[in-house]
């Protein structure tokens, strides 16, 4: 039973009305960010500043016009076959590119990362174009954000909490891995996400720092995104085993190499379903070479172990039919967004490459403690400990599908691919949005 505030309106109804207003603002910002080139440029500058603060690497915009494709300055990804070709290697070395001394764990058989000092993004773009004309596979090390680029515009919005949970997943439960910004270091007092392992050091470090870019007492750009995505999975599949892998660094973005190596680590550690609430359009609309290498490596792991490993990715929030990667890979389940009444969300990316869709406006899940900055929203919230939030975007449609697949695996004792086939069969066909599924309600 709700109590009344000074206006005489039930507080529960009043709070829900205010939250609905904020969700509508989120949706408006999704449309604006997708359509306004000035906002995209502003976002790119903000991300670049924060990414450099965390990685000491610059990122910038590749190519002319829209969409704005971001890439790491001075880095090129080529296939192993390209690098082994004497002519291609001589050409690359003549352009000042050398093999980077980094651990490409899991994808080193397939791709090579090259670096060059004092080579502009435009010069690297020319190098890629020339190699493509000669029939060689190459691309700049492109950046994959939790799209839209400035996720915090218009939200998230503070939500009333869901009841505490106590159930712990069994060791043999389906394993869902979330590759994202990481997990909140603080273990919540209400039981939500308490079983998710936290690693503060080493290769598997996965803690989301929340407030370092800058350290100013406010939540960073895209802070809490991975925690929220993991919370969506936990809402849908409370009995699933859940892990979070940090591949998105400063500004909520990570290079395709970072994302690809995290995918392979997750698969090696037993993931049945890998959720990618991230993505971008790419230069020349070509698939990411590094992520393609990760998918090849995951195929090998499937062959070696006899497991089925399903990769689920957000289709993006660009509002166009232009492919967004990694969702557009044939091996990946691309999830678009619906309105709360199950209609196509006009701000969602869509097209022939989309496999299914779920409600993506006003999704409620656990969030992190902290204050929002006025830099990201005109109506900031102060999130307490054990906070919940409302948030909108295809980032929060994809984990619903990942969780629903885990549920069907448990219910029917089948692998992830067969579970997804069962799930997809329950949906209704929706042109350019695949099969419309109902998993969680929106606001």
> In this predicted model, what pLDDT tens digit does every residue of 212-262 receive, in sequence order?
877 788 998 889 999 999 999 999 999 999 999 999 987 788 999 999 999
CATH of the domain at 66: 3.30.70
Q: How confident is the model at residue 378 (pLDDT cuts 50, 70, 90)?
A: confident
pLDDT mean over 24-52: 72
pLDDT in tens, 147-156: 543 444 556 8
Indicate the number of domains in the chain: 2
pLDDT digits (tens, 9 = 90+) for 277-332: 999 999 889 999 999 999 999 999 999 999 999 999 999 998 999 999 999 999 99
Which of the residue ranges 17-21, 35-39, 97-101 would you say has the lowest mean pLDDT?
A: 35-39
Same domain, 113 and 222: no
Q: What is the band of 60 on the pLDDT scale with cuts at 50, 70, 90? A: confident
The answer to the question of residue 44 being in a domain is no
> Is 43 a domain residue?
no
Give the pLDDT of residue 4.
Answer: 33
CATH of the domain at 342: 3.40.50.200
- pLDDT higher at 29 or 407: 407
Name the domain boundary from 89, 110, 143: 143
- pLDDT at site 337: 97
Q: Is residue 81 part of a domain?
A: yes
291 & 180 share domain: yes
Three-state DSSP string of the chain: CCCECCCCCEHHHHHHHHHHHHHHHHHHHHHHHHHCHHHHHHHHHHHHHHHHHHHCCCEEEECCCCCCEEEEEEEEEEEHHHHHCHHHHHHHHHCCCEECCCCCCCCCCCEEEEECCCCCHHHHHHHHHHHHHCCCCEEEEEEEECCCCCCCCCCCEEECCCCCCCCCCCCCCCEEEEEECCEECCCCCCCCCCCCCCCCCCCCCCEECCCCCCCCCCCCCCCCHHHHHHHHHHHHCCCCEEEEEECCCHHHEEEHHHHHHHHHHHHHCCCCEEEECCCECCHHHCCCHHHHHHHHHHHHHHHHHCCCCEEEEECCCCCCCCCCECCCCCCEEEEEEECCCCCECCCCCCCCCCCEEEECCCEEEECCCEECCCCCCCCCCEECCCCEEEECCHHHCHHHHHHHHHHHHHHHCCCHHHHHHHHHHCCEECCCCCEECCCCCCC
Q: Is pLDDT of 10 > 60?
A: no
Q: Which of 117-121, 152-156, 351-355 has the lowest mean pLDDT?
A: 152-156
- Across the range 393-408, mean pLDDT stands at 97
Summary mean pLDDT of the chain: 89
Mean pLDDT of 21-32: 81
pLDDT recorded at residue 3:
33
- 343 shares a domain with 275: yes
Average pLDDT over residues 418-426: 98
Q: What domain range includes position 77? A: 61-143
Q: Are residues 66 and 128 in the same domain?
A: yes
Residue 333 has pLDDT above 70, yes or no: yes
- Position 150 scores a pLDDT of 43
Residues 198 and 65 in one domain: no
Are 109 and 172 within one domain? no
Percent of the chain topping pLDDT 90: 68
pLDDT confidence of residue 138: 96
pTM over 0.85: yes
Do 274 and 170 share a structural domain? yes
Q: Are residues 262 and 285 in the same domain?
A: yes
pLDDT at 63: 72
**Domain check: are 125 and 191 in the same one?**
no
pLDDT tops 50 at residue 2? no
My answer on whether 139 and 185 are in the same domain is no
283 versus 416: the higher-pLDDT residue is 416
- Please give the residue that has the higher pLDDT: either 129 or 31: 129
Average pLDDT over residues 69-88: 95
Residue 28 domain-assigned? Answer: no
298 inside domain: yes
Predicted confidence (pLDDT) at residue 40 exceeds the cutoff of 90: no
The whole-number pLDDT of residue 6 equals: 35
What's the mean pLDDT in 33-62?
72
Percent of the chain with pLDDT over 70: 91
Pair (114, 204) in one structural domain: no
Q: Are residues 134 and 251 in the same domain?
A: no
Please tell me the predicted confidence (pLDDT) of residue 29.
78
């Amino acid at each position: 039973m709700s109590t009344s505030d000074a206006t005489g309106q039930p507080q529960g109804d009043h709070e829900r009305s205010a939250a609905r207003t904020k969700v509508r603002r989120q949706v408006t910002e999704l449309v604006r960010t997708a359509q306004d080139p000035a906002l995209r440029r502003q976002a790119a500058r903000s991300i670049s500043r924060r990414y450099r603060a965390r990685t000491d690497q610059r990122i910038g915009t590749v190519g002319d016009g829209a969409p704005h494709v971001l890439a790491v300055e001075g880095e090129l990804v080529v296939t192993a076959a390209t690098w082994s070709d004497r002519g291609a290697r001589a050409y690359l070395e003549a352009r000042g590119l050398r093999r980077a001394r980094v651990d490409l764990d899991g994808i080193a058989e397939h791709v090579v990362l090259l670096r060059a000092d004092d080579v502009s993004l435009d010069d690297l773009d020319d190098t890629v174009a020339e190699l493509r004309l000669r029939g060689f596979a190459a691309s700049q090390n492109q950046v994959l954000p939790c799209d839209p680029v400035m996720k915090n515009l218009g939200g998230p919005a503070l939500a009333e909490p869901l009841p505490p949970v106590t159930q712990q997943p069994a060791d043999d439960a389906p394993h869902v891995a979330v590759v994202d910004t990481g997990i909140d270091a603080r273990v919540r007092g209400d039981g939500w996400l308490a079983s998710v392992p936290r690693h503060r050091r080493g290769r598997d470090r996965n803690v989301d720092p929340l407030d370092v870019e800058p350290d100013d007492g406010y939540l960073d750009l895209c802070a809490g995104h991975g925690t929220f995505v993991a919370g969506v999975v936990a809402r849908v599949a409370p009995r699933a085993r859940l892990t979070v892998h940090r591949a998105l660094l400063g500004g909520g973005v990570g290079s395709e190499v970072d994302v690809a190596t995290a995918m392979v680590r997750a698969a090696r550690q037993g993931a049945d379903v890998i959720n990618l609430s991230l993505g971008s359009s790419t230069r020349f609309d070509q698939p990411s070479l590094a992520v393609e290498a990760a998918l090849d490596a995951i195929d090998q792991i499937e062959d070696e172990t006899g497991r089925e490993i399903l990769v689920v990715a957000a289709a993006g929030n660009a509002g166009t039919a232009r492919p967004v990667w990694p969702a557009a890979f044939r091996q990946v389940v691309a999830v678009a967004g619906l309105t709360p009444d199950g209609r196509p969300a006009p701000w969602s990316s869509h097209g022939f490459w989309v496999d299914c869709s779920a409600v993506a406006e006003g999704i409620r899940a656990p969030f992190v403690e902290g204050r929002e900055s006025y830099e990201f929203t005109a109506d900031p919230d102060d999130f307490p400990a054990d906070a919940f939030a409302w948030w909108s975007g295809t980032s929060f449609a994809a984990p619903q599908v990942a969780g629903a697949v885990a549920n069907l695996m448990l219910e029917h004792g089948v692998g992830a691919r067969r579970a997804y086939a069962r799930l997809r069969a329950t949906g209704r066909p929706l042109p350019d949005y695949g099969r419309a599924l109902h998993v969680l309600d929106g606001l």
